[in-house]
Structure 1
Amino acid sequence: MKLVLTEEQRELRGAVRSFLASVSPLPAVRRAAESELGHDPEVYRRLNGELGLAGLAIPEEYGGAGAGYAELAVVLEETGAALLPGPFLATTLAAILLTEVGDKESLPGIAAGTTVATVALDGDRALNGAEADVILAVDGTRVRAVRGGDRTPLTTLDPTRRQARVELGPGEEIASSEAAVARARDLFAVAVAAEQLGVLRASLDAIVAYAGVRVTFGRLIGSYQGVKHKLADMHCKLEQAESIVRHAAWAADEAPGELPTAAALAQAYVGRACFEVARDSLLLHGGIGFTWEHDAHLYYKRAKADEVLLGPSRTHRARLAELLEL
């Protein structure tokens, strides 16, 4: 098991981080989130055209790069840290499901960046459902592809990621496989945890930087014991979350038998840790952290939205306990 990034993975992380810093800094994220579409389609086009990220983990036979989930986790950590708006996570989840069931129709378009897809994760609600070309509906062990139907945009907590209520008609049945759907759900948990790790890290980085420049009562706030202890606790959560995500991504690639437990642990721990760090970051910023102009609330909202995206933490804890026979 490898919990340390390889040289190639570090280079991938650097390339994605540099790209997002140049084309989608936080001021641009705000502008995109307030636009009619909710994201900048040019950024999404370049993300796929120049870096090929939409097809990163899609097998080569479908036009993808055939990379592993360890590489995908590296990318999602960076898109999470940058609060990237748009359908990247939604399409990634759809690509995971389609890869597991072996669909040949939609995967080439996703890999090329020309098809936006999503999964109806919560009944009739879907991330970026209003703009998706394909919506995947999962009914037990059956997977259907729905390409029409009504789409109603929803008001969401996280302004950087749109959701919609979708009309899931009959659609086209792609596959019926209990094993494939179960593995896809575990892989969803790993993917979302990787994004949460990025949100957690960025929230901690922001408050550490602020604690080093904000002066109150003649002292940097980072010099106060109460702040030091809180930052240390937040850093411990980051270290644990990173190990859990790296292990889960490794299991997805190398140890399928360990994946269910690793995925359940990832959502049971990382989701809550991400929200707690984003919350404490906002609080430690003081009054400025509560203002609309500051970015702390954007990380707070993404953290909470991600925490419940695949169900509340208690469901993942219960599944983890069941898998461990506790």
Structure 2
Amino acid sequence: MTDLLYTGIEDDLRASVRDVLGDKAPWTSVLAGTEKDDPYDAALWRAIAAGLGCAGLPVPEDLGGAGATWRETAVVMEELGRFAAPVPFLTSAVVATAALMAAGERDLLARLAAGERVAVLAVPFSAAPGDEAAAAVQEDGGALTGEVTSVADGTAADVLLVPAAGGLYAVDAADARRTAVTSLDMTRRLADVAFSAAPARRVADGTGAVRAALMTGAAMLASEQLGLAERCLDDTVAYVKTRYQFGRPIGSYQGLKHRLADLWTSITQARAVARHAASCVAAGDADTPIAVAVAQAHCSETALKAAEECVQMHGGIGFTWEHPAHLYLKRAKADAIALGTPDRHRAALASLVDLPPA
């Protein structure tokens, strides 16, 4: 049976990451960053990826990493979700790293683990585990031509990992044309990426590396959604205890108590399924596809509900630009679309457990 409890090492890691984020990524700084052209917070990324060594957590020590597992990485994802941190951790330290680990690539993987480079898998951010990759990019004589739309952190990447011609190719981002597109979540920006005879190096054959990357990414995304939902609940409970109407705190009204209790229950369930998914990925468990589908189907909706309740229960201030609730809501909505919608994961789950169609 999978142990869903956090270990002492994981608790210490969480405390360290939360300290750094609390110091370098208060919501006022995150909000200010959304109005800048920078694709991510470079100083925060250096502190998390290199300073704390979080970028290399799941990478074996002989490949330049910390030799931990995806369970520890999931703890980092929870904290990044809690702060809606504008760093390419999901795209580089999770998805691209998982692809390179599955491919057996060493040199680029070591540089990602050290936080020296940012790599991004060039697939639409909505791509779900198990999706058949569209023939968007063609390979000819070691050069790639084509376009991929809505790539998360596409403008932040130093290296693009591009599925093409039945394999995975590494392309220097400077050899691609990247066009920023309007993103709902301005803390994780999207870009269209085009290649015109771009020099490429083949790093993997087949589609296994891409499948492993998307599966791992979906599992870790559930932990980000968990952290975001917990932050929304904590902020909302703190607010309703101090906001008075008609001479009493609004948190004393039964209707709000029931809504918060229901949300707490959903988040507790989200913690269980997210931890299970992370543990399955870490162990290479055969039930990983089922665990990930369950986690994404539940955590996506829970995070979105928590963000909506955060906005609603903060009343007028919750709808303003000067309050962080909109940052959480945008991240939650974007995450619910990313790496497969809840409906797509439920459909995948039905297929995995042989449920008949409705």
- When normalised by structure 2's length, the TM-score is 0.87
**CA spacing shift, 1:140–1:254, aligned 2, 3 Å:** farther
Residue 247 (structure 2) aligns with: 218
Q: Tell me the alpha carbon deviations over residues 175-231 of structure 1, each in whole angstroms, 9 at most, x when there is no partner.
A: 124444333321111111111111111111110110110001111111001000000
Instruction: Identify the structure with the greater helix proportion.
Output: 1
Distance across 1 between alignment mates of 2:279 and 2:47 = 28
Aligned to 1:176: 205
C-alpha contact (below 8 Å) 1:69/1:250 kept by paired residues: yes
- Structure-2 separation of matches of 1:33 and 1:281: 20
Asked if residue 267 in structure 1 is aligned to residue 268 in structure 2, the reply is no
**Residue 48 of structure 1, CA deviation:** 2.2
CA contact (8 A) 2:39 2:155 kept: no
* Cα RMSD (Å): 1.5
Q: Matched residue pairs, number?
A: 326
Partner of 1:142: 167
Report the 3-state secondary structure (helix = DSSP H, G, I; strand = E; otherwise coil) of the residue aligned with 1:256.
coil
Deviation, 1:255, is 4.7
Structure-to-structure mapping, 1:122-271, within 5 angstroms: 122=124, 123-139=148-164, 142-147=167-172, 148-168=175-195, 171-271=200-300
The CA deviation string for residues 264-289 of structure 1, in whole angstroms up to 9 with x for no partner, is: 11111111111111111111111111
User: Residue type of the partner of 2:162?
Assistant: A
| Structure 1: distance between partners of 2:321 and 2:347 | 37
Identify the match of residue 99 of structure 1 among 73, 98, 101: 101
State the SS of the aligned residue for 1:245.
helix
Q: Return 242-251 or 120-129, whichever deviates more.
A: 120-129
Deviation (angstroms), 1:172: 2.3
Could you tell me whether the CA contact under 8 Å between 1:245 and 1:266 is conserved in 2?
yes
**Residue 54 of structure 1: aligned partner:** 55
SS at match of 1:257: coil
Residues 229 and 307 of structure 2 are in contact (CA less than 8 Å); yes or no, is this contact kept in structure 1? yes
User: 1:65-105: CA deviations, max 9, x gaps?
Assistant: 12111100000000110111022222121111111111123
Given the alignment, which residue of 312, 315, 321 partners 1:283? 312
Aligned to 2:137: none
String of CA shifts for 1:270-325, please: whole Å, max 9, x gaps.
Answer: 11111111111111111111111111111000000011011222111100110011
Distance 1:15 1:183, change over 3 A: same
In the alignment, structure 1 segments of 5+ residues that lack a partner are none
1:141 Cα offset (Å) = 5.2
Q: Distance in 2 between matches of 1:70 and 1:106?
A: 23
Moved over 6 A (4+): none
Q: Which amino acid aligns with 1:231?
A: L
1:24 is aligned to: 25
Pick closer, same or farther for the CA change 1:63–1:83 going to 2, 3 Å: same
Once the two structures are aligned, what percentage of the paired residues are identical? 41
Separation (CA, whole Å) in 2 of partners of 1:168 and 1:96: 23
Structure 2 counterpart of 1:293: 322
Q: TM-score by structure 1 length?
A: 0.96
